[in-house]
Amino acid sequence: MTTHTDDRAGTGFAAVYGTLDPTALDYEHLRAVSDGMVPFGNTAGTSITEIGPDRAVVEIPATPDVTNHMGTVHAGALFTAADIAGAAAFVGAAAARLETIARLVLRGAGASYRKPALGRIRAVATVDERELRAILAADRDERFELSGKALLLDDADVVVAKFTFDYVVDIVFPAPATEKDA
């Protein structure tokens, strides 16, 4: 376990998203902030179109910039969209507790490419609800493992790829106030 330090204020997810009202979560704010967070996603042309409590959706545009020499969407673009969607799904699912999330790190991933990816592609991602409940119930600094998955679909809703993700999530609570802080 980590110990409290005074340098935690304004770090982690709270520094990025600001203070959120857990009784009236603004998923559009989360989507807008998240959409610009990954410079490589911007380079690949991905766009987060939805963040909610149950899932996130990222789109890859139907442009020649994301295709390979066979005219299908490049595997790297598919992975990028799935990766961003997985992280965004966590942000939406953990929105009420983002101030305690120090970091979400992708530790491992699996990919299964099913069909040629043609045209606009949507990555629809979720995180494991059981593992998420343990994260949301944390009451002290702790490290958790979290699983996620993403389905990539073309415009006809045909699954073109499936991804699985293994994350590490670090929960960090603010340092308790001391007498000298008062």
d(CA 63, CA 119): 8
The answer, yes or no, to whether residue 171 has pLDDT greater than 70, is: yes
Q: In this structure, is residue 5 part of a structural domain?
A: no
Q: In this structure, is residue 49 part of a structural domain?
A: yes
Residues 116-153 have pLDDT tens digits of: 999 999 999 999 999 999 999 999 999 999 999 999 99
Q: In this structure, is residue 7 part of a structural domain?
A: no
Helices (H) and strands (E) in the chain, counts: 5, 6
CB atoms under 10 Å from CB of 37, counted, come to: 15
86 confidence band (pLDDT: 50, 70, 90) = very high
Q: How many domains does the chain have?
A: 1
Residues 54-74 have pLDDT tens digits of: 999 999 999 999 999 999 999
Strand, helix or coil at 176?
A: coil
Q: In this structure, is residue 129 part of a structural domain?
A: yes
Q: In this structure, is residue 8 part of a structural domain?
A: no
d(CA 144, CA 105): 11
pTM, full prediction:
0.89
Q: In this structure, is residue 176 part of a structural domain?
A: no
Q: In sequence order, what are the beta bridge partners of 137?
A: none
Q: In this structure, is residue 178 part of a structural domain?
A: no
Please report the pLDDT score of residue 3 as a whole number: 37
Residues 2-25 have pLDDT tens digits of: 333 434 445 677 788 877 888 899
> Domain with 122 in it: what CATH number?
3.10.129.10
Q: What residues make up the domain containing 97? A: 15-171
Q: In this structure, is residue 118 part of a structural domain?
A: yes
